[in-house]
């Protein structure tokens, strides 16, 4: 089956109307034929048509669109040749006129002054640069000197503090030694006084004899031993002093046990008139 395209809307409408008309006629013929068969004999009869309905109009295909004509590119226009223009001939330069001698001397003088000025400025810049470098060098040297001085002062202060601390320790030790010696002397004096209180002077004693005793003392103050180291020449006085030592125990001792070695061996002198 070939598809048909209508050229215009009127052709399409006409074709539809003819189609509907044919279908209507076909339907009417069909109804009339059935009704006639029911009334007449079953003899088959053919009805001849004097004329047939016109055939459908042939489908007119739309002509193809005309080919698109593209414009042909125009050929490039030839570039006109430009003839080089002849260069104008350079006119000969006029020779410079010789300068007068006065102008030459002035120009030389100005050139000398300019060079002298440049040399002076260069020298001035060099001197300023040297002065700046010298100032920076002096500044660095001064900073180094101050830092060295600070370090020296700190070192001297540290040494001074160390000396002061050492002297303070020595002084404290001397004070402790002096206090210790003073405390030992004080307790030795107390021991001697306690022994003197227990001496019974012999009746036949002559003069003021001196006896020297060595006394061995225990930590609690008890007398372990007493001996005459140097006699007074009067045995009665020597014996009286030894007996007093034994009667005076326990002897008074300092409370610090570290001082006990100072009282382990005592050397005491006794005179009757002291």
How far apart, in Å, do the first and last CA atoms of the chain sit? 175
pLDDT of residue 191: 92
Confidence at 213, pLDDT banded by 50, 70, 90: very high
- For 90: left if phi > 0, alpha if psi spans -120 to 50, otherwise beta; the answer is beta
Is it the case that residue 35 has pLDDT exceeding 80? no
Count Cβ neighbours within 10 Å for each residue of 201-219 and write b for 16 or more, e otherwise: eeeeeeeebbbebebebee
Average pLDDT of the residues in 64-78: 57
CA gap 166, 183 in Å, rounded: 25
Does 236 score more than 80 pLDDT? yes
pLDDT at 242: 92
Distance, CA of 136 to CA of 97 (rounded, Å): 58
CA gyration radius, the chain:
80
- When pLDDT is averaged across residues 21-36 and rounded to a whole number, the result is 81
Whole-angstrom distance, CA of residue 270 vs CA of residue 192: 8
**Cβ-based burial of 270 (10 A; exposed 0-12, middle 13-18, buried ≥19):** buried
Task: Please give the full DSSP string across 68-127, using - where no structure is assigned.
Answer: P-PPPPPPPPPPPPPPPPPPPPPPPPPPPPPPPHHHHHHHHHHHHHHHHHHHHHHHHHHH
Q: pLDDT-derived band of residue 217, with 50, 70 and 90 as boundaries?
A: very high
Percentage of the chain exceeding pLDDT 90: 37
Annotated domain spans of the chain = 127-274
User: Which pLDDT value is given to residue 15?
Assistant: 78
Which residue is listed with tokens 């300092």? 254
Kindly report, residue by residue over 3-13, the tens digit of the pLDDT: 455 557 777 78
Q: Domain 127-274 adopts which CATH fold?
A: 3.30.1150
| Residues 54, 22: Cα–Cα separation, whole Å | 9
Q: What is the mean pLDDT of residues 254-270?
A: 89
Per-residue confidence band for 39, with pLDDT thresholds at 50, 70 and 90: low
Q: Per-residue pLDDT tens for 168-204?
A: 998 899 888 888 888 889 999 999 999 999 998 888 8
Which pLDDT does position 49 carry in this prediction? 46
């Amino acid at each position: 089956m070939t598809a048909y395209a209508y050229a215009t809307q009127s052709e399409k409408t006409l074709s539809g109307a003819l189609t509907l008309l044919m279908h209507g006629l076909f339907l009417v013929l069909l109804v009339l034929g059935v009704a006639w068969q029911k009334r007449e004999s079953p003899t088959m009869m053919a009805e001849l048509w004097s004329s047939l309905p016109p055939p459908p109009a042939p489908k007119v295909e739309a002509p193809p669109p005309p080919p698109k004509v593209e414009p042909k590119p125009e050929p490039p226009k030839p570039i006109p040749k430009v003839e080089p223009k002849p260069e104008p001939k350079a006119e000969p330069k006029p020779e410079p006129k010789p300068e007068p001698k006065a102008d030459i001397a002035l120009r030389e003088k100005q050139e000398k002054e300019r060079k002298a000025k440049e040399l002076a400025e260069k020298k001035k810049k060099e001197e300023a640069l040297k002065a700046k470098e010298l100032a920076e060098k002096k500044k660095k040297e001064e900073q180094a000197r101050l830092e060295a001085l600070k370090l020296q002062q700190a070192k001297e202060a540290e040494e001074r503090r160390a000396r002061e601390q050492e002297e303070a320790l020595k002084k404290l030790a001397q004070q402790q030694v002096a206090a210790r010696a003073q405390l030992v002397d004080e307790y030795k004096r107390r021991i001697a006084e306690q022994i003197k209180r227990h001496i019974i002077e012999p009746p036949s004693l002559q003069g003021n004899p001196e006896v020297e005793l060595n006394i061995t003392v225990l930590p609690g103050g008890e007398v372990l031993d007493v001996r005459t180291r140097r006699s007074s020449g009067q045995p009665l006085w020597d014996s009286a002093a030894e007996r007093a030592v034994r009667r005076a125990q326990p002897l008074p001792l300092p409370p610090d046990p570290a001082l006990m070695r100072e009282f382990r061996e005592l050397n005491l002198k006794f005179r009757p008139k002291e």
